[in-house]
Amino acid sequence: MTALADHLIIAPVVLPLLAGAAMLAFGGDGRRRVSSAINVTSTLALAGIALALLLACDASPAGMLGVYRLGDWPAPFAIVLVADRLSTLMLLLTSLLATAAVVFSLARWHRAGAHFHSLFQFLLTGLNGTFLTGDLFNLFVFFELLLAASYGLALHGSGPARVRAGLHYVVVNLAASLLFLIGVSLIYGVSGTLNMADLAARIPAIRPEDRALLETGAGLLGIAFLVKAGMWPLCLWLPATYAAASPPVASVFAILTKVGAYVVLRLWLLLFGDGAGSSAQLGSDWLLVGGLATVAFGAICTLASQDMPRLAASSVLVSSGTVLAATGMAQVDITGGVLFYMVSSTLGIGALFLLIELIERGREPGADVIAVTREVYGEDFDSEGEVEVVGLVVPATMGMLGIAFIGCGLVIAGLPPLSGFIAKVALLGAALSPPAASEGASVPVASWVLLIVVIVSGLAALIAITRAGIRTFWASPDRVVPDVQLVEVAPVAALLLLCVIQTTHAGPIMRFMESAAQSLHAPGDYVRGVLGTPVLPRAPQGSGR
Amino acid sequence: MEIVLALGIGALAGSGVWLVLRPRTFQVIIGLSLLSYAVNLFIIAMGRLTREAPPVLTARAPGDPAQLADPLPQALVLTAIVISFATTALFLVVLLASRGLTGTDHVDGREPDA
């Protein structure tokens, strides 16, 4: 590999950091045009880099593109960045969602507050760093970076509702960060290392009397990430914050819950896989039960939500609950399905958050509450003087928004023909045919429960989305056609198109997800890849400076 | 020394948790600060307690690990202090904005119905 390609691994961290800083220096709120140009260019470049990394990763042996040693120190002593299938997949997902959100924001939302573009790039820095890093404490630093940017973005546009929800969001996340620190330091105190691969290699040799401390540390770390992933009962802050955030921000926040899920997938399978001695599969029941409870809670929330932003925020809960519960099953095939589901549902929910704003724009505030009242008290309370119109012409804009809404609904509820259906089939199919079943063993109860909960939550999502759709598109007497620009429809269409591509190319994509799952469940290659990186004789300028 | 440190961390963390659960934003921010002090001390303690031990090797002398302090937790704690300082400052801004917009310092943005 050439020297330039070596450095491509760190580009997803450095590029948005520089872009964000450059915007503070040259763009600023006085020259939004410059900032917008830098932001779009940088985000598009990130998407390109992520795609290149992903393809290179998939082509390389053992699915690991490489290990980037910051400052050229050998692995256990300093921070490394690792690009493997899972992390490049998350990079690509983030950059695609971010591109859609930033293009959407150009129409009007980036003018709603200060320094939107810089904060956006800093958020991307934090996200990309979290996905790439191979060091526990460095993970904390990137995590804080993305949280700090997300505090600013959650408040973007200001207003009492956002500030009130943002206050809770900040407090909950600060408390979770403190738990994260306690967990990291406990693990360090027991094992003497912070490098994830080194940790995985040392855990089997930890003395039995120290295991309790290690497991406590891992548990605290887990709580910190599950708060982020929105596991019930740690998720009560989530619907309010996501529903109050401005639409492009909420759309990007759809990936923030997946950060928690990513870390659980990465760390839990790496540290507490089958090779971890007596600590193997630590807490898998908690993941499974908590995930199922989250799905149930999210499904009830979707049915109970009276406005569309809350509906979308509740779908976030359902999505992350499904991911967590299925991860807790700890089987290779299921994990492959989980990854497929994660991509599809994140894209669908991101598109829904953007779409909702376009739909809501034509309605007066409080229209949802009126609609609910109308359902309860019957139609006749404002039907006087209303003329029956036969063959009403649907404006083109409404038709387009309606079709997009149906598309989002299909992806989120998991109905054919879009990717949500394939994801659920892959997930549940794997759950119902465990490796042991071929020898006549019965399917475990947990799989049946997962099947029922996921199907019922899909039904709940379908009912809620259909109801919201009928209420907005068909039964709204005071309908004003929203003023929608092309740059606002295009991102939604693009995200849905990605879901369509995920459907039509399901074969190769599923194969990729399965190989990613296999390397997650057999982390030997990861550990060898990080610890066994030969120290290259290099010129003094080295890498990473 | 261990018992003093443990009691100190416990007192800080206990007061912090109590304050975080209070309904006023100012109490919450003080609680979070106390909690972060407790966590910072805890990180230091995880590197084992040593007295009068430098964290760096002297030049050209073979180091005896027993005579040295673990430098890593000290580095971690510096980072953690900086980050928690920054996030607390950020929270302070949100707190003031909330006070200004809602006219109350209750964490829910409105006074509970008495």
| Residue A476 pLDDT | 63
Which residues does residue A64 pair with via DSSP β-bridges, in sequence order?
A: A84
As a whole number of angstroms, the distance between CA A302 and CA A345 comes to 15
Task: Give φ, ψ of A68 to 5 degrees.
Answer: -105, 115
Tokens of A50: 């992520």
| Residue A420 pLDDT | 85
**Interval A292-319 mean pLDDT:** 89
Of A118, A61, A68, nearest to A85 by C-alpha is A61
- Asked whether the beta carbons of residue A181 and residue B87 sit closer than 8 angstroms, the reply is no
**Interval A130-157 mean pLDDT:** 89
Closest-CA distance, A185 to chain B, in angstroms, reads 5
- Is residue A174 within 8 angstroms of chain B, CB to CB? yes
Predicted confidence band of residue A515 (pLDDT cuts 50, 70, 90): confident
- Asked whether the beta carbons of residue B86 and residue A148 sit closer than 8 angstroms, the reply is yes
Let me know if residue B108 belongs to a domain. no
Tokens of A413: 């509820």
Dihedral-angle region of residue A89 (phi above 0 means left; psi in -120 to 50 means alpha; beta otherwise): alpha
Q: Is the pLDDT of residue A129 over 90?
A: yes
- Is residue B86 within 8 angstroms of chain A, CB to CB? yes
Q: How far is CA A294 from CA A151, A303, A399, in A?
A: 24, 14, 34
Provide the residue ranges of all domains of chain A, joining segments of one domain with +: 283-374+395-526
- Is residue B102 within 8 angstroms of chain A, CB to CB? yes
| Residue B8 pLDDT | 94
Predicted confidence band of residue B40 (pLDDT cuts 50, 70, 90): very high
As a whole number of angstroms, the distance between CA A214 and CA A220 comes to 10
What single string gives the DSSP state of each residue in A479-542? -------HHHHHHHHHHHHHHHHHHHTHHHHHHHHHHHHHHHH-THHHHHHHHT-------TT-
| Residue A180 pLDDT | 92
DSSP A69: E
Let me know if residue B10 belongs to a domain. yes
Of A147, A166, A189, Cβ closest to residue B46? A189
Of A44-48, A169-173, B107-111, give the lowest mean pLDDT range: B107-111
User: Which H or E run contains A83?
Assistant: strand A80-84
DSSP A295: H
Of B20, B88, B98, Cβ closest to residue A164? B98
| Residue A181 pLDDT | 92
Q: Helix and strand tally (H, E) in chain B? A: 3, 0
Let me know if residue B65 belongs to a domain. no
- The angle formed by the CA atoms of residues B98, B103 and B106, to the nearest 5 degrees, is 65
Residue B27 maps to which CATH number? 1.10.287
Predicted confidence band of residue A375 (pLDDT cuts 50, 70, 90): low
Chain A / chain B CB contacts < 8 angstroms: 90
pLDDT tens, residue by residue, A433-489:
766 555 556 677 888 888 888 889 989 999 998 888 888 777 766 666 777 777 788
Domain membership of residue B8 as a residue range: 2-51+70-102
Q: Looking at chain B from residue 34 to 53, which residues have their Cβ under 8 Å from any Cβ of chain A?
A: 35-36, 39, 42-43, 46-48
pLDDT tens, residue by residue, A47-94:
999 998 888 888 887 777 778 888 777 777 778 888 888 899 999 999
Q: Residue B29 in 3-state DSSP?
A: helix
Count structural domains, chain B.
1
Closest-CA distance, A42 to chain B, in angstroms, reads 26
| Residue A3 pLDDT | 65
Of B91, B102, B98, B84, nearest to B37 by C-alpha is B84
- Asked whether the beta carbons of residue B42 and residue A141 sit closer than 8 angstroms, the reply is no
- Is residue B90 within 8 angstroms of chain A, CB to CB? yes
As a whole number of angstroms, the distance between CA A198 and CA A438 comes to 36
Closest-CA distance, A190 to chain B, in angstroms, reads 8
b/e for B32-43, b at 16 or more Cβ within 10 A? bbbbbbbbbbbb
- Asked whether the beta carbons of residue A185 and residue B102 sit closer than 8 angstroms, the reply is no
**Residue A417 preceded by cis peptide, ω within 30:** yes
As a whole number of angstroms, the distance between CA A130 and CA A79 comes to 12
Predicted confidence band of residue A371 (pLDDT cuts 50, 70, 90): low
Across chain A, mean pLDDT equals 82
Share of chain A above pLDDT 90, in %: 17
| Residue A385 pLDDT | 46
- Is residue B83 within 8 angstroms of chain A, CB to CB? yes
| Residue A271 pLDDT | 85
Q: How far is CA A411 from CA A195, A289, A346, A373, A414, in A?
A: 38, 25, 10, 29, 5
As a whole number of angstroms, the distance between CA A292 and CA A329 comes to 11
Q: How far is CA B65 from CA B44, B48, B70, in A?
A: 17, 12, 9
User: Which H or E run contains A67?
Assistant: strand A64-69
Residues from chain B contacting residue A189 (CB–CB below 8 Å): 46-48
Q: Cβ(A185)–Cβ(A193) under 8 Å?
A: no
Bigger pLDDT: B81 vs A70: B81
Task: Give φ, ψ of B106 to 5 degrees.
Answer: -75, 145
Alpha helices in A2-108 (DSSP H): 3-7, 11-22, 32-59, 85-105
pLDDT tens, residue by residue, A227-271:
988 888 888 888 888 888 888 888 899 899 899 889 988 888 888
- Asked whether the beta carbons of residue A163 and residue B102 sit closer than 8 angstroms, the reply is yes
What single string gives the DSSP state of each residue in A399-447? HHHHHHHHHHHHHHHT-TTSHHHHHHHHHHHHHHS-GGGGGTPPPPHHH
As a whole number of angstroms, the distance between CA A121 and CA A127 comes to 10
Tokens of B3: 């018992």
Share of chain A above pLDDT 70, in %: 87
| ipTM, interface predicted TM-score of the complex | 0.91
Q: Residue A84 in 3-state DSSP?
A: strand
Bigger pLDDT: A354 vs B65: A354
Residues from chain A contacting residue B102 (CB–CB below 8 Å): 160, 163-164
Find all residues with CB under 8 Å of A145, minimum gap 6, and list them: A122, A125, A126, A129
Q: Is the pLDDT of residue A365 over 70?
A: no
| Residue A537 pLDDT | 43
| CB burial of residue A498 (10 Å; 0-12, 13-18, 19+) | buried
Of A56-65, A533-542, B81-90, give the lowest mean pLDDT range: A533-542
Let me know if residue B59 belongs to a domain. no
| Residue A1 pLDDT | 47
- Asked whether the beta carbons of residue B35 and residue A167 sit closer than 8 angstroms, the reply is no
Q: Is the pLDDT of residue A510 over 80?
A: yes
